[in-house]
Chains A and B, each alone.
Chain A
Amino acid sequence: DVKVTQSSRYLVKRTGEKVFLECVQDMDHENMFWYRQDPGLGLRLIYFSYDVKMKEKGDIPEGYSVSREKKERFSLILESASTNQTSMYLCASSLAQDINEQFFGPGTRLTVL
């Protein structure tokens, strides 16, 4: 079974802090994705990556950056957390560009105070 894990289920940070959200997948998938999910807005794509050291902006990249130094790991970084970044963050991976069934991690509920 594909397993996608995220470093924390719940996280509380202060405004202005730098926040790292880690995601690891164990099935050698090429593609990895970061979404945030908010009530009434659904899942919105923040960043995605097709390969190591590659990154592409999604629909809402502002205020975020990402890092993919190893194939299995995709990190989402909030350089200076703000209260409007309080959300559920979901990581996903898929095998390849033309095989886009995505497998999701359990999510990280981030609260910025």
Chain B
Amino acid sequence: GQNIDQPTEMTATEGAIVQINCTYQTSGFNGLFWYQQHAGEAPTFLSYNVLDGLEEKGRFSSFLSRSKGYSYLLLKELQMKDSASYLCAVHSKANQAGTALIFGKGTTLSVSS
């Protein structure tokens, strides 16, 4: 089966750094995505990793190790507006016909002042 694990909840304070981990076991791997979802809104794209290593984009970075089936999203200089759910998703084989994104259950991050 396909499985993506990430912590359910995390808390942090403004200005801090937080790392959200994601481990996966999937049928094939064509890349890993991180999405941000604020309450009541649609997910929005944050980052994409297909090769091992770190991808940096402003305050957000994402890391991938394909051999370990592991990724993390690093958020620096946390702001209150970063309070949201963060979804890890793997582009993998969905069925005999093709591929789709398989999502983890999401990590709800609460940032306090």
A interface residue numbers (CB < 8 A to B): 33, 35, 40-45, 48, 50, 56-58, 90, 97-98, 100-107
Contact = CB atoms under 8 A, between A and B. Distances in A.
18 contacts: A33-B101, A35-B103, A42-B87, A43-B43, A43-B89, A45-B94, A45-B100, A50-B97, A58-B94, A90-B42, A90-B43, A97-B98, A98-B30, A101-B33, A102-B45, A104-B42, A106-B42, A107-B41
Contact of B98 (A35, A40, A50, A104): A50
A100 B30 contact: yes
B112 interface: no
B100 to A, nearest CB: 5
B42 A105 contact: yes
Contacts of A90: 42-43
B interface bracket (residues with beta carbon within 8 Å of A): 20 to 34
Interface in B3-18: none
Contacts of A100: 30-31, 33, 91, 99-101
Contacts of A102: 33, 45, 101
B95 to A, nearest CB: 6
Interface of B: 30-31, 33, 41-45, 48, 87, 89, 91, 94-95, 97-106
B104 A57 contact: no
Given A43-B106, A104-B43, 18 more contacts: A40-B105, A41-B105, A42-B103, A43-B43, A43-B87, A56-B94, A56-B95, A58-B94, A58-B95, A90-B43, A97-B98, A100-B30, A101-B33, A102-B33, A102-B45, A102-B101, A104-B42, A107-B41
